[in-house]
Amino acid sequence: MAAVVYPAVGYSACPHDCPSTCALEVELIDARTIGRVRGARDNSYTAGVLCAKVARYAERVHHPERLGQPLRRRGPRGRGRDAFVEIGWDDALDEIAEAFARAMQRHGSETLWPYHYAGTMGLLQRDSIELFRNLLKTSRQHSTFCITLADAGWIAGTGVKRGSDPRAMADSDLLVIWGGNPVYTQVNAMHHVARARRERGAKLVVVDPYRNATAQKADLHLMLRPGTDGALACAVMHQLFADDLVDREYLEAYTDVPRELESHLASRSPAWASDITGLDEDEIVEFARLYGGIKNSFLRLGYGFTRSRNGAANMHAAACLPALTGAWREPGGGALYANGGIYGIDQTVIKGLDVLDPATRVLDQSRIGDVLAGDPRDLQGGPPVTALLVQNTNPAVVAPETRKVLAGFARDDLFVCVHEQFMTETAAFADIVLPATMFLEHDDFYQAGGHTHLQVTRALIEPFAECRSNHRVLAELARRLGHSHPGFEQSPRALIDDALRRSGLPDEATLFAAHWHDCAGGFEHDNFLDGFETPDRRFHFRPDWSRVGPDYAAMPALPDYLPVMHAADDEHPFRLVAAPARQFLNTSFTETPGSRRAEARPTLLIHPADAAALGLGDGELARVGNRLADILLHAKLFDGVQRGVVVIESIWPNHAFIEGLGVNALVSAEPGPPNGGAIYHDTAVWIRTDTGGSA
C-alpha cells in the first residue's frame, strides 16, 4: 500500500451474497478511508451498474458502531454492546480455545459446531471454516439457507449448475423473470434486460406473487399464488403442445421422454392451473403463446420461487420450458438459474478436503433451533452441541423458527464465539465476540453465480482497529488447539495462487492485475448444444431424483404441481411471502443509516379488500401469527397481490419489530425435499388488528 498516491482508485469485487458479484472501483481517500464505490464500467456484466447500498459502502466500513476490539460478555446474554468489555486478542483466543477443548474433552469433537454462511462470498475467507471443521473433526454443516431447493430442481433436469450467458439477455426478444426480484436483488440483470427492450423492443414477463419493483416494469405480470409455479409451468407446457409450438426435432434429439411428457401434460390444462394458481385461464394461454411464438426467449429463474416445500419441483417444472420450444438453440435464448458450476476451482487445501472424515455428522444449518434444543433426529445419535463458532452469518435473525433459535442461544451450557463486523443479534448472545475485517481489508477471490467472471482482490485499505480476517482467526484457533495444515500455514495470497494454479487458471498476480477472468464456455456449451450433463447427455423431464437427495420418494416423476405447501386454511387464511428488501442484503445493511432511512420500518403489505374485511386501516398495527409465533408490525394497503396473500419485505432485525420478534419467527424449519432447504415463503398465517378483530 505504501506506493499508492492518494486519492486513488482501487479495484475490488463485491463480497456480498448476491448473484451480481459486481466488479468495483473504489475511491481511496487515504490508506484507511474510502469514498464512493462504483460499478466497473469495463466489466461486460457489471457494466458500470451497482446497487445503492454498496455505492454508499463508506457508511458501512466507517460505521461508528463497527466492532474493533475483541469483547467478553459480562452481562446477560442477548443484550447490546454494554453487556461486553474489551479484551486483548491473545486472551480472547486463549479463552475460546480452552472452552472448545473443554467441551470436546467432555462430549467428543462433534460437540463443537463451526457455523457459517455467506456474509462474504470469498472462496478463501468464507470457506476456510470447512478446513477448521475437517481438521478438528467437529460437526459439519448442511448449508440449506439459500440454494439447496433451487439447485436440486435445476440439476435434476440439466445435470449441472450452469446455464446461458446472462449477457445474452440483451440479444433476446422475450425475457421471463420467474420467481426473483432483480430490481432489488441483482440490479445488473436489469441493465441487460433494459438493453434488450431498448434495442430490440423485447418483451418482459414477470412471474411473482406480488407486484414487486421488477413486475412494475413488465409487459405481462403473472401474479400467481405462492408455491403454485409447478402448476403454471405445466399448463404452459400443455398449451405449447396443444398449439404445436414445440420444437419436436429438439425434443427428440436433446430430451429424455418427450412423448411421455406430452401425455402426462394432457390433464394439466390452463383451466386446471387457473384453480391452483389463481391466475385467469386467458393469462396463462397468453403467456404460453408469447413464449411459444418467440424462439429466442431467455428464462431468468430466481431463488425466491424455490423457497417452498415444493420448491425443487417448481424449479424443475419451470426449467423444462426452453427444452420444449428449443429456445436453447437460439442466441439470446435459453435459461439461467446460476453459474456456480462453471469455475471448477480446486479448493482441496482451502477446505481441507484431504482431512475430511465422512463419518463426522452433518447438521442442517436451517434447523439450528432444533439442533440447539437437542432434538434427537437432528443430533443423529451424536453429542449435544455445547460450543458454537459463528462466522459470516446472523442466525438469530435469518434462520427459521426464531423463537427456538433464540432459546437455543440462551442456553447456559452453550459456549458461543461470534466473529462479526457488527453487534448483530447473534453476536449479542456470544461469550466472546471477535471483530472481523471487511472485504476491502483482506485478500480473497470470488466466483459469480449470476455471471461468468472470476475475480481476485487484495486488501485496499488497512484493517479497521484490531479487526482480523476469518482465515487468520481460524488459523490461530486451530494452532492453539494443536492442529496444523497447509491451508492454515500459508498466507491468503499464497493459498489463492495455489488454488488457481491447481485449477489450470492464471495465477493470483495475473488475475489481480486483470481484475477479472471470464470463464464463459461459449454459446454452444453454455446452452447445452453439446449435451446436458446427465448420464445420457439429455435434459430430463423424468429426473432420477435419487441422484439429487435422500428424500427423493417425495418428488413427482414428471414435472408437476406438488401440493405439499402449508396451504391456507380456516385457522390460517393468509399465505405469507417473506421477500428480500431493496436496501438490505439479508440482515447486512440493516445497520447502515442510508438503508435504514429508505426502508423506514417493517411493513405488512395486504390487499385493501382483505384489510377492509379485517377492519385494518392503512398504517395501523397488524398482528400476524401461526402456531409458531405471532409478530406485530404496521400494515400498508397494497393491491399488487391476490387476496389472501401478504408480503413482508425483510430481513429486518427482530428488535425492529414492535415486540422484538421478526418475520422468521413465523417460518417453519421443516426441510423441503429431496435434499433439504429452508422454506421462507411457505407459511400460512392469521392476521388480526391489534385491537383483537380477526379473520
Ligand X SMILES: Nc1nc2c(c(=O)[nH]1)N[C@H]1C(S)=C(S)[C@@H](COP(=O)(O)OP(=O)(O)OC[C@H]3O[C@@H](n4cnc5c(=O)[nH]c(N)nc54)[C@H](O)[C@@H]3O)O[C@H]1N2
Binding site for ligand SF4 (CB under 6 A): 14, 16, 18, 20-22, 50-51, 54, 186-187, 585
C-alpha cell of 440?
476491502
CA 34 vs CA 6, 26, 27, 39, 694: distances in Å:
11, 7, 6, 15, 51
Q: Does 149 bind Mo ion (CB under 5 A)?
A: no
Q: Segment contacting ligand X (CB under 6 A): 115-123, 279-287, 409-417, 628-636?
A: 115-123
Q: Does 580 bind ligand X (CB under 6 A)?
A: yes
The distance of closest approach from Cβ of residue 158 to Mo ion in the complex, given in angstroms and rounded to an integer, is: 20
Q: Quote the CA–CA distance of 224 and 209 in Å, as a whole number.
A: 5
| Contacts of the segment 2-8: beta carbons below 8 A, 24+ positions apart | 4/28, 4/31, 6/30, 6/31, 7/35
Of residues 226 and 332, the one with the C-beta less far from ligand X: 226
Q: For residues 146 and 222, which CB has a smaller minimum distance to Mo ion in the complex?
A: 146
Nearer residue to Mo ion within complex by CB, 241 or 589: 589
Say how many residues touch Mo ion, by CB under 5 A. 1
- Taking the least distance from each CB to ligand SF4, the nearer of 120 and 626 is 120
* d(C-alpha 227, C-alpha 566), whole Å: 9
Cell of 418: 461470534
638 binds ligand X per the rule CB under 6 A: no
Report d(CA 252, CA 259) in Å as an integer.
9
Query: What one-letter code names the amino acid at 26?
Result: V
Q: Per rule CB under 6 A, is residue 447 in the interface with ligand X?
A: no
- For Mo ion, the closer of residues 146 and 233 by Cβ is 146
The verdict on 277 binding ligand X (CB under 6 A) reads: no
Report d(CA 23, CA 43) in Å as an integer: 7
146 binds Mo ion (CB under 5 A): yes
CA 363 to chain centre: 19
Does 647 bind Mo ion (CB under 5 A)? Our answer is no
Q: 119-145 burial, b for 16+ CB within 10 Å, e for fewer? A: bbbbbbbbbbbbbbbbbbbbbbbbbbb
Among the listed residues 154, 241, 298, 303, the single contact to ligand X using CB under 6 A: 303
Examine residue 581 and tell whether it contacts ligand X (CB under 6 A): yes
365 contacts ligand X (rule: CB under 6 A): no
Sheet containing strand 8-13, edge to edge, reads 8-13, 23-30, 33-39
Residue 25 contacts residue 37 (beta carbons within 8 Å)? yes
Q: How far apart, in whole angstroms, are the C-alpha atoms of residue 164 and residue 347? A: 25
Q: Does the protein bind ligand X through residue 179 (CB under 6 A)?
A: yes
Report 33-92 residues binding ligand X (CB under 6 A). none
Q: For residues 181-240, which are near ligand X according to CB under 6 A?
A: 181-182, 184-185, 207-210, 212, 226-227, 229
With respect to ligand SF4, which residue has the nearer C-beta, 45 or 241? 45
Q: Is 679 in the site for Mo ion (CB under 5 A)?
A: no
C-alpha cell at 309: 416445500
Q: How far is the CB of 510 from ligand SF4 (least distance, A)?
A: 23
Distance CA 163, CA 174 (A): 17
Burial class of residue 76 in the structure, from the number of CB atoms within 10 Å of its CB (0-12 exposed, 13-18 middle, 19+ buried): exposed
**Which range of residues in 264-272, 413-421, 502-510, 603-611 is near ligand X by CB under 6 A?**
413-421
Using left for φ > 0, alpha for ψ between -120 and 50, and beta otherwise, residue 667 falls in beta
Counting contacts by CB under 5 A, is residue 150 touching Mo ion? Answer: no
Task: Count Cβ atoms below 10 Å from residue 466 Cβ, excluding itself.
Answer: 15
Per the CB < 8 A criterion, the answer to whether 649 and 582 are in contact is yes
Beta carbon nearer to ligand X, 144 or 534: 144
Of the ranges 121-129, 138-146, 159-167, 600-608, which one interacts with Mo ion (CB under 5 A)?
138-146
Which of these ranges, 37-45, 164-172, 179-187, 260-268, lies near ligand X under the rule CB under 6 A? Answer: 179-187
**Interaction of residue 610 with ligand X, rule CB under 6 A:** no
State which residue, 178 or 523, has the beta carbon closest to ligand X.
178
By CB under 6 A, the residues from 544 to 563 that bind ligand X are: none
From 70-78, 98-106, 298-306, 510-518, span contacting ligand X (CB under 6 A)? 298-306
Q: Which is nearer to ligand X, 371 or 505 (CB)?
A: 371
Q: Which does 651 bind (CB under 5 to 8 A by kind): ligand SF4, ligand X, Mo ion, none?
A: ligand X
| Nine-digit cell string for 437 | 475485517
How many residues touch ligand X under the rule CB under 6 A: the total is: 58
Q: Which is nearer to Mo ion, 19 or 352 (CB)?
A: 19
Q: How far apart are CA 231 and CA 379, in angstroms?
A: 36
Q: Find out whether 421 and 441 touch, Cβ atoms under 8 Å.
A: no
Q: How far is the CB of 455 from ligand SF4 (least distance, A)?
A: 11
Distance CA(34)–CA(589), nearest Å, equals 17
Partner from ligand SF4, Mo ion, ligand X, none contacting 420, C-beta within 5 to 8 A by type: ligand X
312-345: b or e for each residue (b if 16 or more CB lie within 10 Å)?
Answer: bbbbbbbbbbbbbbbbbbbebbbbbbbbbbbbeb
22 binds, among Mo ion, ligand SF4, ligand X, none (CB under 5 to 8 A by kind): ligand SF4
Q: SS3 of 694, please?
A: strand
Binding footprint of Mo ion on the chain (CB under 5 A): 146
Binding footprint of ligand X on the chain (CB under 6 A): 17-18, 117-120, 125, 145-146, 178-182, 184-185, 207-210, 212, 226-227, 229, 302-305, 308, 391-394, 398, 419-422, 424, 436, 470, 577-582, 584-588, 650-651, 663-664, 680-681
